[in-house]
Structure 1
Amino acid sequence: MTSSIATDPITSVQCIFVTKNLLYSSLIPTNPILIPTKLRRFGLSEIINHVLNLEKKIPFDFIINDNVLTTSLQTYLKKYEISNENVLTLEFVESLTEPKLEKAMKSNDWIKCIKANNEFIATGSFDHRTRIYNHSGDLLHNIEFESVVQSLCWLKDESGIASSVILNGNQSGIVECWKVKPDEMEKELVFFCQDAQGAIECLDVNFDGTLFASASFDSSIHIYSTDKDDNTLDSTLDQSKRRKTGKIVKKKIASGTLKGHHASVSSLNFSKDQHSNTLFSVGWDHTVREWDVNEESNKNTMNCENVILNISQSPKTGLLATGHTDNLVRLWDPRVKEGLVVKLKLKSHSGWSSCVSWVNAYNLVSGGYDGFLKVWDIRSTSPIYSIKTFDNDSDPKKIFGLDILDQRLYSGGEEGLLRTYFCTF
């Protein structure tokens, strides 16, 4: 019998369906099923729904040899020159729907960073302002600073609710903590920090909300208590703060300093493990560093060949995702102490991969200087969706920041728009 190579039309191919989802794995037959090669994701999804006998139809995606199927089976077989006598193994996973733009709120300048919580969406901008919106898109607060707002971070208030206290790190090397109210225009400067010798590049708060970290262009990382009364001094000599608020403002002193980076620290991420005060940092020295905050020690240093711009840790798996100036997104396993810790390189951006954020154990979103948001399933090396955030008739607008909260994706950058997308994450 002559083998039919995929350069010729193929009408059917034998497929075995597999899944890691325990709800479905025992319901799928282990024997091959003859499938028409004209089928694409939708048709294959119909088959799985029928086999599983689901009352409410669920859309599925399909992964073959680490590639998400985005074409018909026939096109896939032709592309990879696979014979129809082979048995294809298709892993199916519940689909993420493509993020849909809900609204775009205009800012007066480029947006550098975004941070959302259950009450607010905050943006830091190149016009030296932090703007705070409610989820209906109404601008509630407009806080002015001495320079570009580089990073934002929400803290818990006295009641333990992470909704009304925000940290702002700016290019002047100052971190300011403000308390805002959702239904009033009133806002209060609680304290400020000024230990860095360079611009504040990034901020993050630990799992239980007792500590926050700031990192700077001068390569230092400073650790602070979130308690507004811990390690503070009355800043009676700081006339600019006094003029700004009309009262004496407390200056908070760092409780610890982490030194090890040899260039600017570009991003921080506290461990998602509630029993750990591990902090991850990345920078322009091409390193990912793991810190024991309690001991103020650099526990582990992981290297790569390019500048690292951003980091995010998966709360489900502990894997790290980083964005780079070589346009790649890299995945790291910090538990590996020997051999290769870079587990995967994701290539699709045509500009710097400036921001990354995990969605769940398998999915993450990245934003780039090419003006695209990429939605990834790490069981594949190709993005599931590529979302253009600029008009067809304009040049690409760099994305500087993104955040994800529940079923909302927020992005902003050179375009000067805070974009809100609805997603089924």
Structure 2
Amino acid sequence: MAGKSTQTDVPQIQIRLVTKQLQYAVPDYPLSIPASVFVSELNNLVNELLKESGNVSKEVEFDFLVCSEFLRTSLLEHIRERGISVEDVIDIEYIEKHPPPEPQDCLIHDDWVSAVAVCERWILAGCYDNTLHLWTAKGKHHLTIPGHTSPIKAVAWISLDEENGTFVSASQDQTAIIWKWNVESNSVESIHTCKGHERGLEAVGINTTSNLMATGAWDTMLKIWSTSLHDENEDGESFSKRQKTDCSKTRVPVRTMKGHKEAISGVVWSNKTEVITSSWDHTLKIWDTELGGIKHELTGNKSFFDLDYSNLSRTIITASADRHIRLYDPRSTEGAVVKTIFTSHTQWVQALHWSTTEDHLFMSGAYDNNVKLWDTRSPKAPLFDLSGHEDKVLSCNWSNPKFLVSGGADNTVRIFKSKCAVK
């Protein structure tokens, strides 16, 4: 019975095995097991029960959720940490373990790769030698794009169809450039140079309707710009043909917003009018771009180097100088706004990106040369370490669910193929 000690002084505990993956369901009556079990023993138990039921013929590897967190220690240690009695019947939810991403290609550049963005099968990379590069996800180089006069720190796709793509690059040369790419002829032209920042740009983000972009820079300013390819003045009217000289390629911001005290390191839109920024001034700010003001502020105790927002979980993850990743719930009205701290990187965390299809999964890259794949239900250890970079990881992207992509100071872009577990 639960709570009785065996001769070896390990208490027995009663558990109930439950799953949302119906193809792996086993009877949910209570079972009595030693409280000292680890994941491997629970795996054996579930697989034995599945064999008995005749539902599954091959071994399946599972992860086990106890109190909404993955089991990474013995069951006894896990429940004691959470103040749960060994007398209770413990519900253990099991889900098929996420398969490890497979290393695919290594795309070699001439300098540090400080920015990457993926759209469908295309990878856009920005480098410290001032150039942009277009690659296929299969590792074929398509185009080198000069134009900036200083390192590129951020890139983003605006739109893409079979005929044309548009994207933006943000540089330490104090400009962002909007580019139009003719896919068929594989030619690119610079459509607009966005000028207004007084120091180098660090971040760029496109809103959910792709008609606006936001940039953050070392001048502490957040600027909002139109992404339209047409020349417009501030009233939205087209310039006359007479005025369409090279100067009309210069675009001014729609709005400039002040509030940060140090460099803005990350910019992400949570909807078509709301921007969230991270800064070296230890704060995150949520802005209303229509009213031009700060709606909400979250304060940390270290400089923030990057952030990302999940439309699935409506939460924010941040990268910091203290090696930790933090998950914030900006809607939280009770308790701490930091809901979880993820600890595993051994140096500065520089880049983050949520999965666009799985609300628990995200990736990170750090100065310890590592890319990690995380599940928010496993804060003490990532699901996987994705090794390969031989120097600092500076950027990462997971916009295409099939590929985790990272860029680093080893002059490479690394592609890892993501395989989804069975639902």
Shift of 1:122: 0.8
Deviates more, 1:46-55 or 1:31-40: 46-55
Indicate the residue corresponding to 1:287 in structure 2. 283
Q: Deviations over 1:90-114 (max 9, x none)?
A: 2223321111101111111111011
Indicate the residue corresponding to 2:178 in structure 1. 177
Q: Which amino acid aligns with 2:249?
A: K
| Aligned counterpart in structure 2 of residue 410 of structure 1, from 396, 402, 405 | 405
Shift of 1:173: 0.7
Deviates more, 1:331-340 or 1:51-60: 51-60
Indicate the residue corresponding to 2:225 in structure 1. 224
Shift of 1:278: 1.0
Give secondary structure in 2 for the equivalent of 1:43.
Answer: helix
| Aligned counterpart in structure 1 of residue 153 of structure 2, from 150, 170, 176 | 150
Provide closer, same or farther for how the CA distance between residues 125 and 338 of structure 1 changes in structure 2, counting only shifts above 3 A. same
Alignment of 1:203-282 (within 5 A): 203-231=204-232, 250-271=249-270, 273=271, 276-282=272-278
Q: Is the 8 A contact 1:292 1:299 kept in 2?
A: yes
Q: Deviations over 1:299-352 (max 9, x none)?
A: 001111111111111121201111111111111111125642111111111111
Indicate the residue corresponding to 2:242 in structure 1. none
Q: What CA distance in whole angstroms lies between the structure 2 residues aligned with 1:379 and 1:172?
A: 41
Indicate the residue corresponding to 1:314 in structure 2. 310
Q: Is the 8 A contact 1:401 1:413 kept in 2?
A: yes
Q: Is the 8 A contact 2:320 2:349 kept in 1?
A: yes
Q: Is the 8 A contact 2:391 2:410 kept in 1?
A: yes
Q: What CA distance in whole angstroms lies between the structure 1 residues aligned with 2:175 and 2:74?
A: 54
Q: Is the 8 A contact 1:104 1:420 kept in 2?
A: yes
Q: Which runs of 5+ in 1 are unaligned?
A: 235-241
Provide closer, same or farther for how the CA distance between residues 420 and 281 of structure 1 changes in structure 2, counting only shifts above 3 A. same
Shift of 1:32: 1.6
Q: Is the 8 A contact 1:154 1:162 kept in 2?
A: no
Provide closer, same or farther for how the CA distance between residues 41 and 370 of structure 1 changes in structure 2, counting only shifts above 3 A. farther
Provide closer, same or farther for how the CA distance between residues 147 and 5 of structure 1 changes in structure 2, counting only shifts above 3 A. farther
TM-score of the superposed pair, with normalisation by structure 1: 0.83
Indicate the residue corresponding to 2:378 in structure 1. 380
Provide closer, same or farther for how the CA distance between residues 214 and 49 of structure 1 changes in structure 2, counting only shifts above 3 A. farther
Provide closer, same or farther for how the CA distance between residues 42 and 296 of structure 1 changes in structure 2, counting only shifts above 3 A. same
Give secondary structure in 2 for the equivalent of 1:164.
Answer: strand
Q: Which amino acid aligns with 1:146?
A: T
Q: Is the 8 A contact 2:231 2:248 kept in 1?
A: no
Give secondary structure in 2 for the equivalent of 1:420.
Answer: strand
Q: Deviations over 1:124-146 (max 9, x none)?
A: 11111111112221111111220
Q: How many corresponding residue pairs?
A: 402
Are 2:10 and 1:16 aligned? no
**Identity across the alignment (%):** 23
Provide closer, same or farther for how the CA distance between residues 261 and 28 of structure 1 changes in structure 2, counting only shifts above 3 A. farther
Indicate the residue corresponding to 1:371 in structure 2. 369
Provide closer, same or farther for how the CA distance between residues 338 and 85 of structure 1 changes in structure 2, counting only shifts above 3 A. closer
Are 2:393 and 1:399 aligned? yes
Q: Deviations over 1:335-378 (max 9, x none)?
A: 12564211111111111111111112111111111112222221
Provide closer, same or farther for how the CA distance between residues 73 and 142 of structure 1 changes in structure 2, counting only shifts above 3 A. same
Q: What CA distance in whole angstroms lies between the structure 1 residues aligned with 2:275 and 2:80?
A: 47
Provide closer, same or farther for how the CA distance between residues 330 and 320 of structure 1 changes in structure 2, counting only shifts above 3 A. same
Q: What CA distance in whole angstroms lies between the structure 2 residues aligned with 1:424 and 1:54?
A: 23
Shift of 1:41: 6.1
Q: Which runs of 5+ in 2 are unaligned?
A: 240-244
Shift of 1:42: 4.2
